[in-house]
Amino acid sequence: MIPTQTLARFIHAQEKQVPQSTGELSDLLTSIALGVKIIARLVQTAGFKGLQGYTGRVNVQGEKTHLLDEEADQVLMELLGSSGHFGLLVSEERDSVVAAKEGRRDAKYVVAFDPLDGSSNIGTNIPVGTIFTIFRKVDPDKEAQHDDFLQKGRSIVAAGYSIYGAKVSFVYSCGAGVHGFTLDPDVGEFVLTEEKIVIPDKGKIYSVNEGYYPIWDEPTIKFIESIKKEDEERGTPYSGRYVGSLVSDFDRTIRKGGIFLHPANKKRERGKLRLLYECMPLAFIAEQAGGRAVDGTCDILDIKPQNIHERCPFIAGGKYEIDWFMRVMAETRG
């Protein structure tokens, strides 16, 4: 079968449906897809290219960084910083915003990314990935500013993620549904595999790291206990699945349905995941796929970031499960 519906063709066809489009968005998405292909090769060959170890440094998150984290960061900084489309860039691996090499003044967009998500799984064959969020500058006539990253997720222009697994997948949305692509390694092109990914309204899988049970707050414990209880009417108990790579657990959730939780706990009131380049882009995808993503109090896309590395509790899934989780939160908190 000839792979005709490539990512580039699909994006151009989407652009044509938007009268005032300039083709810029398609060019920058193509730049991101190129970065994903390069990172995929790095991940696949890291084992024999000595790239699976640590750098010996600690990043702004206070986490030991892997060589692959920094390699992936470098690829995206080079590619996206020279694309001319982004005035400023934010990376999980960099303390502060980075000015693009080209286009600082007149570029329309800014981009934030998690260059390598799921790093704790590096060295195993468990899939890892990349996550990105794109905003338009708040003031198009000004140079890109730090505050261009502190917009609510409702202003996201495009967001998506890739997964470096048995297949290399690329999932994105520009606000008109969620589209899935698979890399055809023979031709090096991403080929459309799901034109519209829609999350099942009700699923059968819950995904959480139960190791945090002792430090969860009462509403979270109550919800997890109820999803594991025998209840024919509600269709519980659900099955438990947890990979420990957000991109993998989230991708399974939007395709199979159910709920993913990385909730707050007594040691981390605002959870572990980062709002700007993990929670917001995936919340955008979840809503575009017909689901929801909350922090336990409100929808993630209604949160205005206060700083580029702030953390946020992240609970995402089908409307049935998220509405149920929010009811338990409200009832238990009183």
* Residues engaged in binding Mn ion (CB under 5 A): 92, 114, 116-117
Tell me how far, at minimum, the Cβ of 205 lies from Mn ion, in Å. Answer: 21
By the 8 A CB rule, do 216 and 265 touch?
A: yes
Q: Please report how close the Cβ of residue 133 comes to Mn ion at its closest, in angstroms.
A: 12
Pick left, alpha or beta for residue 40 (phi over 0 → left; psi -120 to 50 → alpha; otherwise beta): alpha
Least Cβ distance, residue 44 to ligand AHG (angstroms)? 18
Residue 284 near residue 247 (C-beta atoms within 8 A)? no
- Residue 221 CA: distances (Å) to CA of 1, 62, 241: 50, 28, 17
**Residue 209, binding choice from ligand AHG, Mn ion, none, Cβ under 5 to 8 Å by partner class:** ligand AHG
15 binds, among ligand AHG, Mn ion, none (CB under 5 to 8 A by kind): none
Which is closer to ligand AHG, CB of 117 or CB of 189?
117
CB under 5 to 8 A by kind: which of Mn ion, ligand AHG, none does 21 bind? none
Instruction: Look at residue 252 and give the partner it binds from Mn ion, ligand AHG, none, a contact being a CB closer than 5 to 8 Å depending on partner kind.
Output: none
Q: Helices in the chain by DSSP H: which ranges?
A: 7-16, 24-45, 67-81, 218-228, 246-256, 280-288, 319-333
Rule CB under 6 A: which residues touch ligand AHG?
92, 114, 117-120, 209, 244-246, 249, 262, 272
- If the CB atoms of residues 21 and 74 are measured against ligand AHG, the closer one turns out to be 74
Tell me the CA distances in angstroms from 151 to 46, 231, 272, one per residue in order.
36, 42, 20
Dihedral sign for Cα atoms in the order 320, 173, 208, 308: negative
Q: How far is the CB of 70 from ligand AHG (least distance, A)?
A: 12
Nearer to ligand AHG, 119 or 162 (CB): 119
165 or 200: whose CB is closer to Mn ion?
Answer: 165
Task: Tell me whether residue 92 or residue 189 sits nearer to ligand AHG (CB atom).
Answer: 92
Residue type, 27: D
